[in-house]
Amino acid sequence: MPPAGGKRYLTSTAVFLNEVVKLTISLTMALYEVSKAAPPSMPATSLFFSLTSAVFSGDSWKLAIPASLYTLANSLQYIALSNMQAATFQVTYQLKLLVSAIFGLVLLRRSVAPRKWGLLLLLVVGVALVQMAGGPSDELEEEAVHINFPRSLAEWKAVKGGGAAAGLHKRSATYEGIEDDINTAFPRLNSVVGLLATLGACAASGLAGVYFEKVLRDSAISTSLWVRNVQLAFYSIFPALFIGVIFLDGETVAVNGFFEGYNWAVWSMILVQALGGVATAFSICYASKLPKNLAIVSSIILSTVGSVWFFEFELTGNFILGTGLVLVATYFYGNPASGLTQLKGYPMRPPPIRIDNYEKDIMGEPGSPVQSPTNDFSIKLPSSPFLSDAGLSTSRPTSPSQPRTSTGRSASASYFSSKH
């Protein structure tokens, strides 16, 4: 779409706002959780202090590593999509499965079945076919932009009058800055830069996901996922602000402003990215591989349809074949029938046993899973003025659902008595 005001937005500012929106959503939900558990008379300041102690206590500092990696992955995604078709990027980005498998093998000691290694190899072959299909079209587009560059003032006015370059900056009577304006209106695609940025995003996102899962498993404190999202967003803001906005694009932001080039599409993209980032933590903790990979398959199909519909993306034989291989590999990689993933050295955990169903019923009521035996002998001690019922009790631990009972003693009781 035409750039707003002749300028395009800076990706560093979009990444920073993405983390700000994510922090706002997570902080609101975390405060709501704290308020539900707190008494109604607790003031708002105490709620904030309770949330602050939960966010910055324990192993919260460990989330600075995946937060920085997620920020790097988001920045590389913008670079990749600036140099690659959306459908091609979505298919290539599935190499994150291979990266996650390798890092899971190293960090989580998670074994990968030979069939899954074969599916990952099929995934790599499919991505290679898709990249072969996308290479020539990018070169033709670059060549067309280079040939159609206006070489006179009359041609420049014709381009301006035709509406194709609407919204471009009018520089001066000279040719200074005209090429930059053309590149702003018609961005060139560089498949090599797009591929390298996608591979970097796969590596950063895959490592961040595995490390985040490791932190959740090794954590000795049960922490709410909304609090975890607050921690991720908080630690992501610092690299996004100081490295991206200030260090890389600080001069441009000082000249053109922070919101230069923003429109409704940019704001919509930031909101969708923030919601996806919040949902990532919940998918890691609660979703199994099958529904996650079904979502990936759906996203690839929707991205391909959207690229054809909005960007006139041409489907080739290599792209269709490569995308089909990626879809098959992605789906069956998360299928439980293709092999269960477990920690190395630890057997699969059996189903939980309801202990309360097998508790010994003291009263011996009918229908109890375990009835009291009929021939139950107990030892009675002779009565003594120095012994009382309040000071003695049975040494057997009580049941969680039954109160502790003391062994009654009477003067007339013998040493051995039988219950009938």
Digit-coded pLDDT (tens) for 89-148: 999 999 998 999 999 888 888 888 888 899 999 999 999 999 887 654 444 344 434 445
Digit-coded pLDDT (tens) for 360-370: 444 444 444 44
Digit-coded pLDDT (tens) for 302-337: 999 998 888 888 888 899 999 999 999 988 887 655
CB atoms under 10 Å from CB of 132, counted, come to 13
SS3 156: helix
Over residues 30-48, mean pLDDT: 82
Which of 73-77, 219-223, 235-239 has the least mean pLDDT? 219-223
50 and 224 Cβ atoms separated by less than 8 Å: no
Task: Report the distance separating Cα 127 and Cα 95, nearest Å.
Answer: 8
Digit-coded pLDDT (tens) for 193-202: 999 999 999 9
DSSP for 373-400 reads PSS-EEE-PPP-TT--TTT---SSPPPT
Element (H, E) at 87: helix 86-92
Give me the percent of the chain exceeding a pLDDT of 90.
Answer: 29
pTM, to two decimals: 0.66
Using the Cα atoms of residue 377, residue 381, residue 383 and residue 389 in order, give the sign of their dihedral: negative
User: 284: burial class by Cβ within 10 Å (0-12, 13-18, 19+)?
Assistant: middle
Please tell me the predicted confidence (pLDDT) of residue 223.
78
Digit-coded pLDDT (tens) for 10-29: 999 999 999 999 999 999 98
Mean pLDDT of the chain: 74
Please tell me the predicted confidence (pLDDT) of residue 179.
56
Enumerate residues 6+ apart whose C-beta is below 8 A from 328: 122
Which residues on adjacent β-strands are paired with residue 418? 377
Which of 162-176, 268-282, 284-298 has the least mean pLDDT? 162-176
Q: Is it the case that residue 287 has pLDDT exceeding 60?
A: yes
